[in-house]
Amino acid sequence: MLRDAGFTEVEGYGALFSDVDAVKAALAETGMKMTTAHIAVDDLESDPEKFVALAKELGMRAVYGPFLMPDDRPTDAEGWRAFGQRLAAAGKPFMDAGITFGWHNHDFELVDLGGGVTGLDCIAEAEGLTLELDLGWVARAGADPEIVLARFPGRISAVHVKDIAPAGENENEGGWADLGHGTVDYAALLPKVRAAGIDHFVLEHDNPADDKRFATRSLATFQTL
């Protein structure tokens, strides 16, 4: 469906890699590439050689840590800085192999820890890490995506592009919307993203009621921006 909609690349996530042969077969059948992936930090730490080899085999350009469960999230700047160092250590085998490595945010990393400092700021202090900035989650956190984008010059290697439904709409889809059918002003935002030198865009919707509708409408919108 994604191939027929016009996509040529996809971003994988950890659960897919329990059956790598199926992933490889699907990519071969469709002619698509898996250029990036989300892999949990615990998995990366448990078997870095396995995942570096997997990334190379599938031709990935970047791997990102994707999420922390609520009980695992630091609550202060010191904790987030320690997590950034942990993340950098987990990513070193990838960086040594020439694969971009970083963190993909949600909204909880944008909480003000005091003095305007956020968890994302603290993570970004770790040497070598990049960010896959999720613009939709930035907006949902109540932050201005343009301002957050400008806070990390040269450190953002990819962005997630997703839209937020108007208040009270799409509640069955978690309040998310297909690109161009929500409230985020991507017509103004994406030129700023490109001007920052970012050229990898992942279209995403956390809970679409209709996968094909999301994919086709979002790509159609993106191609106009």
Dump the DSSP string for 128-166. T-EEEEEHHHHHHTT--HHHHHHHSTTTEEEEEE-EEPP
Q: How confident is the model at residue 2 (pLDDT cuts 50, 70, 90)?
A: very high
Report the half-sphere exposure of 16 (CA within 13 A, side-chain side).
20
Band (pLDDT 50/70/90 cuts) for residue 12 is very high
Locate 54 and state its tokens: 């997997």
Instruction: Please give the pLDDT value at position 14.
Output: 92
Domain count across the chain: 1
Q: CATH code at 166?
A: 3.20.20.150
CA separation for the pair 180, 157 (Å, rounded): 23
Indicate the pTM of the whole model. 0.96
- Nearest 5°: the CA angle 19, 86, 90 is 35
**Which region, left, alpha or beta, applies to residue 180 given φ > 0 means left and ψ of -120 to 50 means alpha?**
left
DSSP state of 199: -
Confidence of residue 154 (pLDDT cuts 50, 70, 90): very high
pLDDT tens by residue, 107-134:
999 999 999 999 999 999 999 999 999 9
Span 62-110, pLDDT tens digits: 999 999 999 999 999 999 999 999 999 999 999 999 999 999 999 999 9
CA gap 51, 45 in Å, rounded: 10
pLDDT band at 58 (very low <50, low <70, confident <90, very high): very high
Domain that holds residue 26: 2-222
